[in-house]
Copies of this chain bind each other. A is one copy, B any other.
Amino acid sequence: MNTPFRTIWTTEDRYVEVIDQRQLPHEFVTVRLETYEDAEEAIKEMIVRGAPLIGATAAYGIYLAVREMVEEQLNGSFLDQAFSDLRASRPTAVNLFWALDKMRDALDNSSGDFIETAWNAAAAIVEEDVETCRMIGVHGLTLIEEIAQRKKGDVVNILTHCNAGMLGCVEWGTVTSPIYQAQQKGIKVHVWVDETRPRNQGSNLTAYELTRHNVPHTLIVDNAGGHLMQHGMVDMVIVGTDRTTRQGDVANKIGTYLKALAANDNNIPFYVALPSTTLDMSINNGLTEIPIEERNQDEVRYMIGKGKNGKIQPVLICPETTPASNFGFDVTPARLVTKIITERGICGASEAGLLNLFPEFK
Q: Which residues of A contact B (CB under 8 A)?
A: 25-26, 192-193, 195-198, 200, 203-204, 207-208, 211, 217-228, 230-231, 253-255, 257-259, 261-262, 265, 287, 292, 300-308, 313-319, 321-327, 329-331
Contacts and interface: CB of A to CB of B under 8 A. Distances in A.
A259 B259 CA distance: 10
Contact of A226 (B203, B231, B258, B301): B258
A17 to B, nearest CB: 23
Stoichiometry, as copies per complex, reads 2
B330 A207 contact: no
Contacts of A195: 197, 300, 317-318
19 contacts: A196-B223, A203-B301, A208-B319, A211-B321, A218-B324, A219-B301, A221-B222, A221-B254, A222-B222, A222-B223, A224-B255, A224-B325, A224-B330, A225-B258, A230-B330, A230-B331, A261-B265, A305-B314, A313-B315
A227 B307 CA distance: 32
Nearest to A287: B230
- The 3 nearest A-B residue pairs measured at CB: A223-B255, A305-B315, A227-B330
Nearest to A323: B218
A97 B168 CA distance: 49
Given A197-B195, A307-B315, A300 B227 contact: no
A224 B327 contact: yes
Contact of A307 (B197, B254, B313): B313
Given A208-B318, A211-B321, A219-B323, 10 more contacts: A197-B223, A203-B317, A204-B318, A207-B318, A218-B323, A218-B324, A221-B254, A226-B261, A227-B329, A304-B317
A94 to B, nearest CB: 19
Contacts of A200: 317
Contact of A317 (B204, B261, B300, B321): B204
A37 B330 CA distance: 47
B315 A254 contact: no
A113 to B, nearest CB: 44
Contacts of A313: 307-308, 315
B322 A207 contact: yes
A271 B294 CA distance: 29
Given A319-B25, A319-B211, A255 B221 contact: yes
A305 B317 contact: yes
A299 B253 CA distance: 23
A240 B270 CA distance: 30
B219 A197 contact: no
A223 B307 contact: no
Given A207-B318, A313-B307, A218 B26 contact: no
Contact of A316 (B26, B319, B323, B330): B26
Nearest to A260: B226
Contacts of A222: 197, 221-223, 255
A67 B211 CA distance: 54
- Most B C-beta atoms less than 10 A away, residue of A193, A196, A200, A325: A325
A92 B261 CA distance: 26
A77 to B, nearest CB: 39
A219 B258 contact: no
A219 B322 contact: yes
Contact of A262 (B207, B261, B306): B261
A187 to B, nearest CB: 21
A247 to B, nearest CB: 16
